[in-house]
Amino acid sequence: MNPILIVDDDADFRESLSWLLESAGYDSRGFDSAEAFLREYQGEPACLLLDVRMTGMSGLELQRQLLDKAYQIPVILITGHGDVPMAVAAMKNQAFDFISKPFDDESLLTIIAKAVADIPRRFELQEQLSEARSYWQELSRREQEVAHLVAGGASNKGLAETLGISVKTVEIHRSRVMKKMQADNLAALIQKINLLG
């Protein structure tokens, strides 16, 4: 079973959460700071229970760093001082859920069960994203321009006019883009570029 990772600078709260999770059959691991978590976490499948306000890096900052690394771990943010802007920021950063202390144990376990059920889909997406990023880095700057324009629906003629190059040169760039991105067709290329945002 995928572990539940707890990041909270309150040792008593971490311990009580660990006890709750283990009594429900989950493996759990605790970290006393976002920095300690980042030193150890390498993108493996798990679920993250994350305190928003901590000494040092905040939970929201950690959540943004995970997004920047393209990690798809489901994040459940926990706070004792929740407010609407904080909840909005958390959800914009793709939090799985946002809950306030004190919370009902059963409600938390229900949210965790849903997050754990979502792990396989998220980590398949993480692998696709990681692959697409590595392919993207193989493209030259011009090929990246061409890829964006192709994904946006530009024709070869339109591309040539936009970039101030010949249609023949566009065809060469387009062919290289498809090969380097390992896209068999336009739909596959668009899907990979959309993954990259």
Give the pLDDT of residue 197: 73
Segment 1-18 shows an average pLDDT of 93
Domain edges within the chain:
4-122, 138-196
- Which are the contacts of 29, defined by CB distance < 8 A and separation ≥ 6? 3, 4, 5, 6
Give the pLDDT of residue 114: 96
Residue 81 has pLDDT above 80, yes or no: no
Taking only the tens place, the pLDDT of each residue in 164-175 is: 999 999 999 999
Residue 91 has pLDDT above 80, yes or no: no
Please return the burial class of 66, using the count of CB atoms within 10 Å of its CB with bins 0-12, 13-18 and 19+.
buried
Give the pLDDT of residue 67: 87
Query: Could you tell me where the DSSP H helices lie in 41-166?
Result: 59-68, 84-92, 105-137, 141-151, 156-163
Taking only the tens place, the pLDDT of each residue in 106-152 is: 999 999 999 999 999 988 888 888 889 899 999 999 999 999 999 88
Give me the chain's average pLDDT, please.
91
pTM confidence score: 0.73
Segment 19-43 shows an average pLDDT of 95
Q: Which of 71-75, 98-102, 169-173 has the lowest mean pLDDT?
A: 98-102
Segment 74-99 shows an average pLDDT of 81
Q: Give the Cα separation of 53 and 47 in Å (integer).
A: 19
Segment 76-96 shows an average pLDDT of 78
- The gap from C-alpha 101 to its chain's centroid, in whole angstroms, comes to 25
Give the pLDDT of residue 23: 95
- CATH no., domain 4-122: 3.40.50.2300
Looking at domain 138-196, which of 1.10.150.170, 3.40.50.2300, 2.40.30.10, 1.10.10.10 is its CATH number?
A: 1.10.10.10
